[in-house]
Amino acid sequence: MGSGSTKLRLGVLASGGGTNLQSIIDACSAGDIDAQIVRVICNNPNAGALQRAERAHIPNCCINHRDFDTRTAFDAAVISQLQQDRVELVILAGFMRIVGADFIRAFTHRIMNIHPALLPAFPGLNVQKKALEYGAKFTGCTVHFIDADVDTGPIIAQAVVPVFDDDTEESLSARILEQEHRLYPHAIQLFAAGALKVEGRRVLIDPAYANTGKFHASALINPPPA
């Protein structure tokens, strides 16, 4: 039995350009994640994520939500494909569809999402713009398990990003995205290592991976004190 066969089997769902997908592809190839992407599914035939999967020789397909009358029917097609591929962890990487109850039941605590804000602040869409307009001094990104509501599931990991006075939606989004590309592979590797335990709303991290001393006296203050 080769070591490849013991790797965690990931299925990635994406709707857009797929830069998060790319960061996971790269982390798998570099050996930073003990996992392999066995399937990429896009709901949008023009998603750049499909080309990224193709370039990396990862099995990929489009399951277009427009071809289905109901979300339940669309979800059933996606679930069926993921089960056929024996996917163990589902990764939503810029997947702009709401995941229904059947999907969540089929993969309880085995669907991760990345959101470009520090949940529970700014759930929903266009959240970089909302954080900027609100006047927040920090925002960031969150990786969480999916539950029955939108952007409410148990939080696995977060990265904090400062907001500057001269930020535009674009500059802030780019700063957050850079951290998304670090955070998502990290969270997936914690899962792959068996370091995550869900207790109610909380995701507890195996002590070997948490509180490693790096946070000593390192509170973030924006604007920074002299």
| CB 114, min distance to ligand GAR, A | 5
User: Is 186 marked active-site?
Assistant: no
Cα separation of 5 and 40, whole Å? Answer: 19
Site for ligand GAR in 69-108 (CB under 6 A): 93-94
The yes or no reply on residue 112 touching ligand GAR (CB under 6 A) is: no
The yes or no reply on residue 144 touching ligand GAR (CB under 6 A) is: no
The yes or no reply on residue 123 touching ligand GAR (CB under 6 A) is: no
Site for ligand GAR in 161-200 (CB under 6 A): 177, 180
Answer yes or no: are the C-beta atoms of 54 and 60 closer than 8 Å. Answer: yes
Q: What DSSP string runs through 42-73?
A: ESSTT-HHHHHHHHTT--EEE--GGG-SSHHH
Cα separation of 203 and 200, whole Å? Answer: 8
The yes or no reply on residue 18 touching ligand GAR (CB under 6 A) is: yes
Candidates 18-26, 80-88, 152-160, 211-219; binding stretch for ligand GAR (CB under 6 A): 18-26
Sheet bearing 89-92, strands edge to edge:
60-62, 35-42, 8-14, 89-92, 111-115, 138-145, 155-162, 202-205, 196-199
Name the residues annotated as catalytic: 115
Residues near ligand GAR (CB under 6 A) are 14, 16-20, 93-94, 114-116, 177, 180
